[in-house]
Amino acid sequence: MPDRLVYLAPIGLLALSNLVMNTAWYAHLKAPERALWIAVLASWGLAFFEYALAVPANRIGAQAYSLAQLKTITEVFSLTGFVIVAWVLFGERPTWNTGVGFLLVGAGAYFIFKGPFE
């Protein structure tokens, strides 16, 4: 795989996988009248596709990123995916508090990628 793809493919795949996973976690709340077992099976069905994206992302990404960096990428996209799903499916717009919290997470991500201070 070309060097550029080793760096870019995991980012794209992790972005998609987290969008799918957030949908699996929360979309069933749009139909609370459905039986819980149906919600669980539907979520598991979506989770399969999340894993089909996340596993290759991590396999490829391990060639370019440390495990801490891969996890940080995943967490940043998890929060981003949550905001998208909450806004699109439930109309919950991000607030200033959300923005500040995400900036703090972003600061943490910066330190993960910055490497050890000397």
User: What is the value of pTM for the model shown?
Assistant: 0.84
**pLDDT tens across 45-88, in order?**
999 999 999 999 999 999 999 999 999 999 989 989 999 999 99
Residue 46's nearest CA partner among 30, 77, 31, 25 is 25
Tell me how crowded residue 113 is: count the other CB atoms within 10 A of its CB. 13
| Spans of all domains in the chain | 3-114
**pLDDT tens across 8-31, in order?**
999 999 999 999 999 999 999 999
